[in-house]
């Protein structure tokens, strides 16, 4: 029977919620998922029905997170991955594709931060500067390069780069970290331009000062209070506060949004205008 619905009816129809905003059966790679924010992302995607690929340099930590997820009846795969090695990242992508026949989403979360000491830029050892740049910038590019062929074949993909709201404040004494996270914004916009024809979106999320289980010697209780005092929402940020934005950017619902930056910092900083 011919479709009798009018063009106006089709245009005004509302897509099914799960197909638009769900991640059921999507294969999602989260780098640096053995701890901290990445661990919460892995749990969230798995709880929402995706396969969470827990990629981390520390295989023991990745295994623990994967077992936590599987104990809750969800799907996970733990992989040891060196974000600074293209060979390691290519092996990761091939393993995931061989296991599931697809790679839908990449969350570029891995980076160096918690182990850094606060100091003025003229005191940062050059080898430390180089390592931060290689992992936080080059590592994101290499991870994306490793998964892109699979997304291009499927003509569908989501790349989410985890930057930092600290770049909007010019945070002192972490100049290498702040510089690396600033670079991700330019990378996000350029990648979005290059991948749009393949219906692959690339966006960035800027978390605020997020408290995780990872110890931070350089942040005192007084500093935490000062951070909260700058926010519109007067409480400490936790990883769960980032889940909504990151998962949304992995769904069909964000299909016409690319090259964009989302601030999730409790209103500590405001961008755009």
Structural domain span for residue 181: 16-264
- pLDDT tens, per residue, the chain with 273 residues: 445 555 555 556 788 888 899 999 999 999 999 999 999 999 999 999 999 999 999 999 999 999 999 999 999 999 999 999 999 999 999 999 999 999 999 999 999 998 899 999 999 999 999 999 999 999 999 999 999 999 999 999 999 999 999 899 888 899 999 999 999 999 999 999 999 999 999 999 999 888 887 776 666 677 778 888 888 899 988 999 999 999 999 999 999 999 999 999 999 888 754
Domain with 182 in it: what CATH number? 3.40.50.720
Do residues 125 and 176 lie in contact, with contact meaning Cβ atoms separated by under 8 Å? no
Q: Is residue 80 in a domain?
A: yes
Q: Is residue 270 in a domain?
A: no
Q: Is residue 269 in a domain?
A: no
Q: Which of 48, 150, 174, 177 is catalytic?
A: 177
Q: Is residue 273 in a domain?
A: no
Number of domains in the chain: 1
Q: Is residue 11 in a domain?
A: no
Against a cut of 0.85, is the pTM above it? Answer: yes
Strand partners, 200: 157
d(CA 175, CA 260): 23
d(CA 183, CA 84): 16
Q: Is residue 128 in a domain?
A: yes
The dihedral region occupied by 272, where left means phi > 0, alpha psi between -120 and 50, and beta the remainder, is left
**Is 48 an active-site residue?**
no
199 Cβ contact list (under 8 Å, min separation 6): 155, 156, 157, 255
Q: Is 259 helix (H, G, I), strand (E, B) or coil?
A: coil
Q: Is residue 7 in a domain?
A: no
The dihedral region occupied by 199, where left means phi > 0, alpha psi between -120 and 50, and beta the remainder, is left
Beta strands in 147-243 (DSSP E): 157-162, 200-207
Q: Is residue 10 in a domain?
A: no
């Amino acid at each position: 029977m011919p479709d009798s619905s009018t063009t106006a009816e089709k245009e005004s129809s509302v897509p099914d919620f799960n197909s638009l905003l769900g991640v059921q059966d999507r294969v999602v790679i989260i780098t640096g998922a053995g701890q901290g924010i990445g661990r919460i992302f892995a749990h969230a995607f798995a709880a929402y029905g995706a396969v969470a690929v827990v990629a981390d340099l520390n295989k023991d930590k990745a295994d623990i997170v994967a077992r936590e997820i599987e104990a809750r009846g969800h799907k996970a795969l733990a992989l040891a991955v060196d974000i600074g090695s293209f060979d390691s990242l290519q092996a990761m992508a091939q393993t995931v594709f061989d296991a599931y026949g697809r790679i839908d989403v990449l969350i570029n979360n891995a980076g160096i931060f918690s182990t850094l000491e606060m100091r003025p830029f003229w005191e940062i050892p050059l080898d430390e500067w180089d390592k931060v740049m290689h992992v936080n910038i080059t590592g994101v590019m290499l991870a994306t390069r490793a998964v892109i062929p699979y997304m291009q074949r499927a003509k569908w993909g989501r790349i989410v780069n985890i930057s930092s709201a600290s770049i909007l404040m010019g945070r002192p004494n972490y100049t290498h970290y702040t510089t690396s996270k600033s670079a991700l914004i330019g990378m996000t916009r350029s990648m979005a331009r290059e991948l749009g024809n393949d219906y692959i979106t690339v966006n960035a999320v800027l978390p605020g000062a997020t408290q995780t289980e990872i110890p931070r010697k350089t942040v005192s209780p007084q500093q935490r209070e000062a951070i909260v005092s700058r926010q519109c929402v007067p409480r400490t940020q936790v990883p769960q506060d980032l889940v909504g934005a990151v998962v949304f950017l992995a769904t069909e619902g964000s299909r016409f949004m690319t090259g964009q930056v989302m601030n999730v910092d409790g209103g500590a900083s405001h961008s755009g205008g």
